[in-house]
Amino acid sequence: MPPSSAVETLALRVQVSAFAGATLPADYAELLREGLGGICLFGSNTEPGEESVRSLSAEIREAGAAGGRTPVITIDEEGGDVTRLEALSGSSVLGAAALGAADDLALTEETGRAIGLRLARAGINLDLAPVADVNSNPDNPVIATRSFSHDAGVAAKHVTAWVRGLESTGVAGCVKHFPGHGDTGQDSHVALPVLDADLATLRERELVPFLAAAEAGAAAVMTSHIVVPALDPELPGTLSAPVLGLLRELGFDGLIVTDALDMAGASAERGIPAAAVLSLAAGADLLVLGPDKPASLVRDTAAAIVAAVESGELPLERLQDAAARIDRLLAGTQPRPDAALDPRFEQRSLDGARRALAAASDLTDLPSLAGALVVSIVTEANIAVGDVPWGLPADVVVRPGEAVPDLPDVPLIVQVRDAHRRPDVGRTVAGLGRAAVLVEWGWPATYDGPGLPRLCPQGFSLPGVTAVTEVLRRSGWER
């Protein structure tokens, strides 16, 4: 066995952690010099804007270079509802559901390229996107509009197009969440979902986009913290050798990245260091610890990995293989911020937003909206989306169950997110006597509420706002 210092370096090399704030803390700089695999940027790191992120990325690279290594710098930038670099304004590009509904593969590829260019400028070399989950459960609380489609074939072709566009900029993509989080009714951030599908269903539905991504040469795949009894009745996918072994059987030879190990689905019962050891032993290569973590957690996790190697619980060869796969990904990743983007991209995005809106909306016989006010019914977004802007600028904000304020005798444009799975939202809509149009910014599922005309842009984005605004103005809205 190599000297313990070498094993300790490997135990750092396979981790990606995150700190709070927009500057690199001294203790994290020291970890990077010692060999920490990299940093994942979350909202607290990116809030000051792209120029600040670019500066932070340079600090991270400099600290890694002082230790003789290139660090992984990664982020969740999916476009649409999930954005870190545009969290203050909202995403300037369409999200997955709208792209799938527009069904223009050239637009999807160019959207991936546009995101890649933004990431390359910010100094990021791995994007934890796109979502390859097939959103077959309309009540899914965490995937929804992050998915390209409820149809496996549609999702597969758009996943590969998006990855192709992203990776054309030299930024690596990471399709997620294997083996598929789409047919679940719980959020693995806060629970341990179960995907109760047989192996035949998995192969016909969940695995189809991942197989397509593997065949297209995607650089990385992210695991999911869900139990799939057909593959492993006990452990969630991130910690399961049968689940991760299936990914290799599909022909994927790239980097296996864990979803954040601080999520309840992975570590609620065992803690992050123990989850890290189990995940490496199962076949994962790069461990994402989660946001705003103290440097001491990185060291505790490294100590647990070293102890597992020394006890024989984790073969040294598995740890070495994981580090080698990280090195291979970095060797093949050269971000190119000057890659070309179609000059018509902005217009094509708006055209795509119009098609996505038309695909799921009631666009005929809208009532007169002259003088209309916008009422937002505010509900918390899931953790993956976070606290980011959504919807049209609101005149009135109410929460489900709150008393509705006295409003002028004018039509109301009521906007919601995922009203189909929130009965309290439907009751609040029903209490708005002048409600004229419902704008559903979430998944466009069947809505059991007042029979209002619905506009469904299939996720939030700035092009989607423009498309919705155009329709409302045609009915007399004056803003």
Q: pLDDT digits over 251-269, tens only?
A: 999 999 999 999 988 998 8
Strands 38-41 and 15-17: parallel
Furthest C-alpha separation in the chain: 79
Looking at residue 126, what is its pLDDT? 98
- The rounded distance, in Å, linking the Cα atoms of 32 and 38 is 7
The mean per-residue pLDDT over the stretch 122-142 comes to: 96
Q: Return the percentage of the chain with pLDDT > 70, whole number.
A: 99
Decide which of 448 and 52 is more confident.
52
Residue 234 phi, psi dihedral angles, 5° rounding: -115, -55
Looking at residue 441, what is its pLDDT? 98
CB of 37 within 8 A of CB of 286? yes
Rg (CA), the chain: 23
Question: In CATH, what number does 4-331 get?
Answer: 3.20.20.300
Burial 27-47 (b: 16+ CB within 10 A, else e): ebbebbbbbbbbbbbbbebbe
Task: Point out the least confidently predicted range of 93-97, 112-116, 189-193.
Answer: 189-193
259 is annotated as an active-site residue: yes
Question: H-helix or E-strand containing 190?
Answer: none
Decide which of 199 and 265 is more confident.
199
- The rounded distance, in Å, linking the Cα atoms of 38 and 373 is 47
Distance in Å from the first CA to the final CA of the chain: 70
The mean pLDDT of the chain is 95
Q: What is the token pair recorded at 289?
A: 């610890």
189 is annotated as an active-site residue: yes
Among the listed residues 259, 262, 285, 418, the single catalytic one is 259
**Residue 347, pLDDT above cutoff 70:** yes
Decide which of 386 and 412 is more confident.
412
Question: H-helix or E-strand containing 438?
Answer: strand 435-440
Q: Which residues lie across from 414 on neighbouring strands?
A: 375, 438
- The rounded distance, in Å, linking the Cα atoms of 376 and 415 is 5
Burial 89-105 (b: 16+ CB within 10 A, else e): ebbbbbbbbbbbbbbbb
Looking at residue 3, what is its pLDDT? 53
The mean per-residue pLDDT over the stretch 280-307 comes to: 98
CA angle, residues 99, 101, 107, in degrees to nearest 5: 35
Band the pLDDT of 4: cuts 50, 70, 90: low
Closest CA to 277 of 15, 3, 2: 15
Band the pLDDT of 191: cuts 50, 70, 90: confident
The mean per-residue pLDDT over the stretch 391-417 comes to: 93
Please report the DSSP string for 37-80 in residue order.
Answer: -EEEE-HHHHTT-HHHHHHHHHHHHHHHHHTT-PPEEEE---BT
Band the pLDDT of 402: cuts 50, 70, 90: confident
The ranges assigned to domains in the chain are: 4-331, 345-474
211-254 pLDDT, tens digit per residue, is: 999 999 999 999 999 999 999 999 999 999 999 999 999 999 99
Band the pLDDT of 379: cuts 50, 70, 90: very high
163-172 pLDDT, tens digit per residue, is: 999 999 999 9
- The rounded distance, in Å, linking the Cα atoms of 134 and 156 is 9
Among the listed residues 158, 177, 181, 189, the single catalytic one is 189
Q: What is the token pair recorded at 367?
A: 């009532």
